[in-house]
Each structure stands twice: as structure tokens, then as C-alpha cells.
Structure 1
Amino acid sequence: MWQFLANSLQDTSPILFAALGGLLAFRAGIFHLGLEGLVCMASFTAVAVSKETGSATFGVLAAIASAVLLSVLYWFLIDVMNGNVIIVGLGITGIGVAGSSYLLQVVFNTQGAIQTANGLYHPVVGHARGPLSVLNGLSILTWCLPVVVFLIWVLVRRSFSGLALTAVGEFPFAARSAGIAPRRARLLALIGGGVLCGLAGSELSLGNLDSFTPNLTNGLGYVAFTAVVFGAVAPLGVAAAGIGFGIANAIGIQAQLERWSVPTEIIMMLPYVLTLIAVTIAAGFNRGRGAAQAGFAELRS
């Protein structure tokens, strides 16, 4: 049981970090389908910098910086150049996934895995042979995750900034008339999401594996976006959805190890089926919001 709990927490951590980043973007009215690319690029950067500098801290900081840079590019393309938020998001995912594989070949001259001996710190819990010893495999970022969820909840639910962010996402014209700059709010939301995606990538590569392979995320960003939609864009709901997806992944691994009679492919594909449903729902919301804003603009003119 303790081992299953540890596996669930390990699988939940990167998903939930990325989902919280998607939550901030969603609150600002942005359907962030670029989460996959941000997390993948952050995973590569974390391992690459940690390997070259000998410091996991520098690796995490570099991972955050890479995700923030892609987030700023995303904001520029959708808010300044008026690109379609879904198409540009998929493009950002392409940049992150393909770009990390390209840099892997250029910098390290390999198409396989790169490893580092400097992973994230793992706090010691219990004795070496006690039941809690399995929790010693959890990284410091996993232990900090409840604090991050609480801080996001305070930001979204109990602060003026969170109220302003929600206003920008739901009523941009009313927010502008109240003195809130929607463009600036969306930029800050995406930067905050970039920081969280940087932590997600660091946890995925330095917290669990201490290595990076091409397409390491394997759809994790889309699952995180699904958690945002099914969590009703609320911090606690997103946390619950992220935990649910983490448990589902752990169950899939357990089914493979114990060779259950139920095909493991069915269990492993459930998060991706839900992802398709979530993307379809988000696309419908995006079309409805775009039509409503266009109608309002025409009415004002």
C-alpha cells in the first residue's frame, strides 16, 4: 500500500504542477494547449544544465527560465499577433517537443537518453526498513506541492489579483473599463504558468528519473490540461483531478507488474480519452467566447 501511495504521488506531481499552470492561463481566458511543450523543454533543460553544472538547483532555475521564455512567446503570438490560441498552443507544444529532441542531438550528440548524477533532494522519512521508507523516493518538489496548491488557491480565491484575472478571462471589456489591463494580466498569468511548468519538467526528469529521453512527457501536458477542465478551473478541483490522473497512472503500472486479467492498455488509455473530451469542450468554449466578444464589439461600433 505504501509503495502504491508513493507511486501515485510521483505520478501526480508533474501532472499537478503543469495543471496549476494551465489553471492560471484558463482563468485569464487562455486554453493552454502548449503545456506539453513547456514541460518537455523544461525537462530537457533541467537535466542538461544539471549535468553540465553539477547542480540540481541550477537545473531547476534553467528549466523555469526555458518554460517562461516559451510562455512569453506564446503570449506574443496570441495577444500581440492575434493568433488562434489553440493552434498557437499546439505550435508551442511542437516547438518544445521537437526542439528538445533537436537540442539533445546538437548539444550532446545523441538521440537517446542523457543522465545526470545530480537529481533533486529527497527528504528522508522513517527508518530504512520501515513502511514509510518508500516515501524516501519522493523529491523535495513533491513534498512542497501541497503548499503550492494552497498558494494558488489563495491567489485565485482570496486576492484582488485573482479576481482581476478571472474578470479578464470572463469579462475582458468590463475588466478594461475597471482599469485592469487584460493584456498585462494574460502575460503575468502565462509567466506564472511557465514557472509551474518549469517545476513540472524538473520534477519529471530530476525528481524521478535523473535523465531525459526524447518525448519524455508522452502526453503529460495534455493530461494536465484535462485536469484543468475536469477540475472546473478551481484550484482544489484541479488538485483532485490531478491526483485522480496520478492514481490512474499508478494503477496502470501496478496492473502491468501484477499482470491483471484486464488489459493494461485499457487502463492506460483512459486519461487520453478524457483528454480528447476536454479538448473538445475547451474548443466549444473558445468558439462561444469568440462569438460573444465579436458580437459585443459590433454592438459597440
Structure 2
Amino acid sequence: MTNLTFFTDYLAASIRLAVPLAFAALGGMYSERGGVLNIALEGMLLTGAFTSAAATFYTGNPWLGVLSAVVAGGMVGLLHAFLCVSLQVNQLVSGLAINLVAAGLTSFLARLVFNGGSAQKLAGIAAIRIPGFANIPLIGELLFQQDIVVYLLIFLIVFSTYFLFHTSPGLTLRAMGEYPQAADTAGISVSKVRYLAVVVSGCLASLGGAYLSLVQVKYFAEGMTAGKGFIAIAALIFGKWHPVGSSLASLLFGATEALQLRIQALGINIPYQFLIMLPYVVALLALVGLIRKSPPPAALGIPYQQQK
């Protein structure tokens, strides 16, 4: 029973750690399927984490915090779309600039809002315990004792898979990343679709940040995303720009992070710096192994001049 409890706790921790990655990867999928490279996922995550924490801190309502995070993430996505689609700035440079601005701005504002850079005792989002099912060994805690944000993620994964591969708008989005000239010839505005895709990307990634602040730790700390946006990019590539594949890759990286935390807790004589590196090493190895097996959308990162 002790082993089962340990294994259940480990899987539950893996899911909790994977949720922000999956939201960010899902957001990145929309942007990059639309042909816009999104290195700004880290900044979008951090923006969502800070905005949700600040709104919750002032209102005491975590759902207003989630809504604020979605709006703020959409605004960051709009900025990235403006730079990349309208101004045709180098998409890699735009994403890195947004990451740097988000890191500096959230740190500055956190010290103003929280008097020292972090907020304690935020009103968080509690898990929903489904009577009867929650007591089932192993799967009860994993599937029937989760918060509504996790259930929203599951819905979005299913919806995105159907939308992307079984609807006309999904086909249009994929065309923007593969062959935008065909969509332009058919009278579809490449700029409008790409704008929408990047804004949706920001909204979804910021939901991952809100989960960090309001569910996982229930406070905000400077730089709390700690590179999760870049891990999400690795999950996106590892999952071959597919909603299910990217989410499963996020779960793999979440499980790796949960493992290194438990190894530290067990007191095994391994320098903790090496354990902290473990998720990033796994992400790097995954990318190296798939570098030729996971081709990106053909038009990814390439600005498009609308035909007149």
C-alpha cells in the first residue's frame, strides 16, 4: 500500500508539473501551425502568472485572476503578432525580446504590488472531488480529484485535435503554416488568421502561468516560470506540433521534474545541481533524437507578403 501511495503521489505530481507545460505547448501549436514562430512562450507564461496573482491579490477572486491572465496573455500575443506579421520583424528576435521585457516588467511590478516581489496566501483554485470515483485506488486521485483548470486543459486538447484535423478553419490554420500562398489565392487573409492564431497562443500560454500561481504554488515569485516556456517548446517539437503528442511530451517532462524532486527528498547522495538539470537534459536528448523525424511546418518563421 505504501508503494502504491508513493506511485500515486508521483503520478499526481507529474500531472501538476505538466499542466503549465501543456498549456504553453498547446498555445505554441496554434501559433506555429499558423506559421509564426513563438519563442515568447516563456514571457507569456510569466505574464499569466503575475497577472493572475496580482488580480487575485487585489480582488480575492481567483477566477478574476484567471480571466485577467487570459486577457494579458492575449495582449502579449497581439504584440508578438504585430511585430512578426505587420512589421515582419525577425520572429526569433521578437520572441526573445518579449521574454526579456516580461521578465523585467513582472519583477518590477511584483515589487510594487507585493512589497518585496512575492505574494503569500493567494486565494487559490481548489480541486473538485467527485464522490464515489475519487476513492478508486490510483486513478481516483489522478482523474477525479483535479481542479477545473486541469479539466479545461483536457477539453482543449480534445477540441484542438478535432478543430485542427477535422474542420475547415483548422485546415485553413494548417495551410498558413504549410503553404500560405494557397490560402491567399483562395481569398483568405493570411495576416488575419496569423494574428488570431498568435493571440490564441498567448491566451493559452497565460493559462499555464495562472495555473502556476493559483493552483500549483498559490503565490507569485520573480522568475517563477524558470524556463518552462522553453521546455514547452521542446514538448511542442517532440510532440510533432500535435495537441495530443505535445501534451504527452509535456507529461514526460513533468514526470522527469517530479522524479528529480523526489530523488532530492530521498536524500540520495547526488549533487542537487545535477538533479535540477535533469528535465532540461531530457528535453535536449528528446530534441536531438527527433531532429530529423519531426519536421516543422514548411512556412514556419517565414514572413508573408500579401498578394494584391
TM-score (norm 1): 0.87
User: What is the CA–CA distance in structure 2 between the aligned matches of 1:11 and 1:209, rounded to whole Å?
Assistant: 11
Q: 1:161 aligns with which of 169, 188, 194?
A: 169
Cα deviation per residue 1:170-198 (whole Å; 9 max; x = unaligned)? 11112111122111111111111112112
Larger deviation, residues 251-260 vs 70-79: 251-260
Change (3 A) 1:130 1:117: farther
Q: 2:39 aligns with which of 30, 33, 37?
A: 33
Whether contact under 8 Å (2:257, 2:278) holds in the other structure is no
Q: Provide the alpha-carbon RMSD of the alignment.
A: 3.0
User: What is the CA–CA distance in structure 1 between the aligned matches of 2:284 and 2:86, rounded to whole Å?
Assistant: 29
Matched, 1:122 2:127: yes
Change (3 A) 1:291 1:57: closer
Whether contact under 8 Å (1:41, 1:99) holds in the other structure is no
Matched, 1:259 2:267: yes
Change (3 A) 1:12 1:120: same
Q: 1:167-246 alignment to 2 at 5 Å?
A: 167-246=175-254
* Superposed displacement of residue 10, structure 1: 0.3
Change (3 A) 1:291 1:6: closer
Cα deviation per residue 1:23-67 (whole Å; 9 max; x = unaligned)? 111101122110000110110111111111010110000011111
User: What is the CA–CA distance in structure 2 between the aligned matches of 1:292 and 1:193, rounded to whole Å?
Assistant: 18
Q: SS state of the match for residue 83, structure 1?
A: coil
Equivalent residue for 2:159?
151
* Superposed displacement of residue 108, structure 1: 3.0
User: What is the CA–CA distance in structure 2 between the aligned matches of 1:131 and 1:207, rounded to whole Å?
Assistant: 23
Change (3 A) 1:216 1:55: same
**Structure 2: segments with no counterpart, 5+ residues:** 1-6
User: What is the CA–CA distance in structure 2 between the aligned matches of 1:47 and 1:259, rounded to whole Å?
Assistant: 33
* Superposed displacement of residue 257, structure 1: 1.1
Whether contact under 8 Å (2:27, 2:204) holds in the other structure is yes
TM-score (norm 2): 0.85
* Superposed displacement of residue 122, structure 1: 1.3
User: What is the CA–CA distance in structure 2 between the aligned matches of 1:46 and 1:290, rounded to whole Å?
Assistant: 31
Equivalent residue for 1:14?
20
Equivalent residue for 1:81?
87
* Superposed displacement of residue 144, structure 1: 2.8
User: What is the CA–CA distance in structure 1 between the aligned matches of 2:13 and 2:114, rounded to whole Å?
Assistant: 31
* Superposed displacement of residue 248, structure 1: 0.8
Q: SS state of the match for residue 215, structure 2?
A: helix
User: What is the CA–CA distance in structure 2 between the aligned matches of 1:229 and 1:125, rounded to whole Å?
Assistant: 35
**Structure 1: segments with no counterpart, 5+ residues:** none
Equivalent residue for 1:53?
59
* Superposed displacement of residue 267, structure 1: 4.6
User: What is the CA–CA distance in structure 2 between the aligned matches of 1:171 and 1:41, rounded to whole Å?
Assistant: 32
Change (3 A) 1:275 1:9: closer
Q: SS state of the match for residue 150, structure 1?
A: helix
* Superposed displacement of residue 16, structure 1: 0.3
User: What is the CA–CA distance in structure 1 between the aligned matches of 2:214 and 2:258, rounded to whole Å?
Assistant: 19
Whether contact under 8 Å (1:138, 1:207) holds in the other structure is no
Aligned sequence identity (%): 31
Letter in 2 for 1:121: A
User: What is the CA–CA distance in structure 2 between the aligned matches of 1:80 and 1:143, rounded to whole Å?
Assistant: 36
User: What is the CA–CA distance in structure 2 between the aligned matches of 1:65 and 1:50, rounded to whole Å?
Assistant: 14
Q: SS state of the match for residue 212, structure 1?
A: coil
User: What is the CA–CA distance in structure 2 between the aligned matches of 1:208 and 1:2, rounded to whole Å?
Assistant: 17
Q: 2:8 aligns with which of 2, 17, 40?
A: 2
Structure showing the higher helix proportion among its residues: 1
Q: 2:113 aligns with which of 103, 107, 110?
A: 107
User: What is the CA–CA distance in structure 1 between the aligned matches of 2:206 and 2:46, rounded to whole Å?
Assistant: 9
User: What is the CA–CA distance in structure 1 between the aligned matches of 2:154 and 2:264, rounded to whole Å?
Assistant: 29
